[in-house]
Amino acid sequence: MSETKKWVYSFGRGRVEGAASQRALLGGKGANLAEMAALGLPVPPGFTISTEVCAYYYRHERGYPPGLREQVDAALKLIEEDVGARFGDPEEPLLVSVRSGAPVSMPGMMDTVLNLGLSDRTVEGLARRSGDRRFAFDSYRRFIQMYGDVVLGIDHYLFEERLEAVKREYRVRFDHELDAKALEELVDAYKALVRRELGREFPQDPHEQLWGAIGAVFGSWMNQRAQTYRKLHNIPADMGTAVTVQAMVFGNMGDDCCTGVAFTRNPSTGERSYYGEYLVNAQGEDVVAGIRTPQPLSRAMARAGGGDPEQSMEAQMPAAYAELIAVFERLERHYRDMQDIEFTVQKGRLFVLQTRSGKRTAQAALKIAVDMAQEGLITREEAILRVDPASLDQLLHPTLDPKAERKVIAKGLPASPGAVSGKVVFSADEAERRAAAGEAVILVRIETSPDDIHGMHAARGILTARGGMTSHAAVVARGMGKPCVCGAGDLLISYEEQAFTAGGVRVAAGEVITIDGATGTVMLGAVPTVEPQLSGDFATLMEWADAVRRLKVRTNAETPADARTAVRFGCEGIGLCRTEHMFFQEDRIVAMREMILATDGEGRKRALAKILPMQRDDFIELFTIMGARPVTIRLLDPPLHEFLPRSEVEIGEVAAGLGVEPRIVRRRLKELEEANPMLGLRGCRLGIVYPEIYEMQVQAIVEAAIAVHERTGTAVVPEIMVPLVGSARELALIGERLAAVAERVMSEKGRRITYLLGTMIEVPRAALRAFEIAEHAAFFSFGTNDLTQMTLGLSRDDSGKFLDAYLEAGIFRTDPFRSLDTEGVGELVRWACERGRARRPDLKLGICGEHGGDPASIAFCEEVGLDYVSCSPYRVPIARLAAAQAALRRRGASAGSLE
């Protein structure tokens, strides 16, 4: 017979199965408990059921693998031997906690059960053994309440109602003020509640209780809050959770007992000071629930918070506090990271219940990483790897003042970070008008379109009722560094009434709201914000990161403000200048529409001649700001109909402005109408059908480069990018025409410049035929937004309707529009790189889609050998750090103890 697979790993006195390195198998909690037991720290004995059981559980309709029950029984016996008590024994009862523990910390997302093993018989044994009847029944009522909620599915508030009723009857304010008699009554009330709700008695068999709790913890892996947390933090659903069963220790046995949570450094600021709270005569959930106000650990922390230093743990329990500080020092040195520790003191004796790398703000993460490197605890390379690149967003945008009051009226998707207050406006024109008058406005739309670009630019923030994290509003807002909340489905917007309703509140145009793009919350009124402070630690870590990264980091920018922001954040060029955004500006949209309505090439040229000086000035300003840094300019990409009006009122206004009848505009709209504009007359197809457009743009680019060279002496080398190329012939035709224009301009100006012609690889065929296209291109820039859409056959704007189902089913591990699909889209990128460089070894390669600012996608870009990534200005520091981490990981640098 084959040996039964090991599912259960014990830890206890002189016995440890597992280590911190086995997080994937034992979860963070189980692995760290085993590690602490091995270090000889005061850890209550227990065992961990591995994440492999969780996987089996979901593969086998919530069933357990053969041999698991026998292994659990054997592990329970070891705990009994360690503590001198027996599970279910009425005289010497063993009580246990049952806790979740995923490989990645998900605080508060899954379920826990404490005091398991109590029953009508064992509670009497606990009372006799402890000599404290009040403590025994306090533990029993806590167990029934927690088990009833977590395992039996009875609403938590029903237990709370009965608790409040008993407190009123006995005229007490806090739970710990209830005496033994009151708690016995409460236990009877709780059991009656279970009978009423379920039609059966509360389970008295401790083994039934145990397996009910184990099943509830495994089941909580797929509860809604856990799924949402995983989605927000890109945690794969197939990772699973472990279950840790551990002997109970009690912080609620009297005034020489307590429970608490502590950090070895301040998780908000990163300062090297002990940070935490404790509660006397309490259990762990009391600290979290907020029913009683915890006291600070140290005298210093009490003084800093305006509290009484003599109420601190340092003052009240000096021996246990001193032992706890020794544990802090030892754990931080061992794990070489700031630790988040849960502890209990029972009758003066300290027990450590958990340690993990502590969650921290971006500011704290920077300070802790830099300080630990300078203290010699970790290397600079490890410091770089310790900071989550995405968390830097917190430092680059205003954030809400944590002390400020707020009234939340709606919740949407956190599409673009930052917090801002402003008056509500419902149209882009109104946003622009009010902003020009000096008012702070928030543009509220059902959804945005390219026509709204001017209003989005003018607004302080954007709020939409529809759209996802990669919708138009989200993408543009992130590019602009504007706070944005998308997909706030509770918003009922009426353009006609110029108002929206949410959370039972009606908000009219002109009223002030606040949005927080980091959390997706919408609040009534103005909420104070705090401006970001890019500290010395930020600059230090970025300097270390720049020293080790290979990938260059450019930005996507077409406005001077964006370009200056990106330079301030350390960009090394512009990887994507979207010229269509320039055409939407009010002073040139009329000429653009005139060009579209023209009936022949000469008419188009006359209209474009009006835009030429404006485009040239745009490029002069960009080239001046960027200096010697490269600037990649994408020629016009979107379909022409996007520049034309839609409503009858707008059609009439445009017709009047152009001196034509409205029917002319309507007819042209009809002619330009396409069933699928994304695959229609756009990109390089415009350059072939209407060559005048690209010729004007190239003339503006070359004239601007010459002008900047003459004014500043800087030799500008513009990179001209042709979009949507699918064949070598398309690029060859356009390249010949554009070269002729460039030669003519240089001849007229009497000065030559160097420029590069390249293409955006966003059509799958272009990736497959890269060896042919490379003959005509000096560079490839991967437009992974469209490449993802075309490869997967997904609409970025419509996929939100079913994307969640695909993620839950495991078809996609992550949203492919947020993080590159390396197996499908990535394979095309890899082929294009290999085939392009096989034909042209000096081919420059970059990426300019939304993925250019995603750390996981940047790691792939490092792997395939791209030269640069390009992202929105506010993601430049994120990309710099992510590129450094990707380079270090490719070299095999160790990350140490990472959360």
The active-site residue out of 397, 457, 472, 851 is 472
111-141: burial string, b at 16+ Cβ within 10 Å, e else: bbbbbbbbbeebbbbbbeebebbbbbbbbbb
H/E element holding 627?
none
Whole-angstrom distance, CA of residue 695 vs CA of residue 701: 10
**CB count in 10 Å sphere of residue 564:** 15
H/E element holding 416?
strand 413-416
User: Rg for the chain (alpha carbons), in Å?
Assistant: 32
At residue 289, φ and ψ (nearest 5 deg) are -70, -25
Whole-angstrom distance, CA of residue 668 vs CA of residue 673: 8
848 is catalytic: yes
454 is catalytic: no
Q: What is the DSSP letter of 495?
A: T
Q: How far is CA 511 from CA 423, 442, 528, 704, in A?
A: 5, 10, 16, 44
Both tokens assigned to 698: 């190239």
- Would you say 271 and 367 are in contact if contact means Cβ atoms under 8 Å apart? yes
**CB count in 10 Å sphere of residue 388:** 19
- Would you say 142 and 115 are in contact if contact means Cβ atoms under 8 Å apart? yes
Amino acid letter, residue 480: M
Whole-angstrom distance, CA of residue 238 vs CA of residue 253: 40
Whole-angstrom distance, CA of residue 574 vs CA of residue 546: 18
State the angle between helix axes of 601-626 and 560-568 in degrees (0 to 180), rounded to the nearest 10.
Answer: 30
Both tokens assigned to 268: 């908000």
- Would you say 403 and 530 are in contact if contact means Cβ atoms under 8 Å apart? no
279-312: burial string, b at 16+ Cβ within 10 Å, e else: bbbbbbebbeeebbebbbbbbebbeeeeeeeeeb
The active-site residue out of 258, 486, 833, 848 is 848
Angle among Cα 729, 731, 733 to the nearest 5 degrees reads 65
* DSSP 3-state of 601: helix
Whole-angstrom distance, CA of residue 663 vs CA of residue 643: 17
Amino acid letter, residue 299: R
* DSSP 3-state of 402: coil
Q: What is the DSSP letter of 4?
A: P
Q: What is the DSSP letter of 527?
A: -
Strand ranges (E), 686-762: 718-722, 756-761
- Closest of 263, 249, 276 to residue 350, by C-alpha: 249
H/E element holding 632?
strand 631-634
827-859: burial string, b at 16+ Cβ within 10 Å, e else: ebbbbbbebbbeebeebbbbbbbbbbbbbbbbb
User: Which residues, other chains included, contact 731 with Cβ-Cβ below 8 Å and sequence gap of 6+?
Assistant: 684, 722, 725, 757, 759, 773, 776, 777
Strand ranges (E), 325-384: 339-346, 349-357
State the catalytic residues. Answer: 472, 848
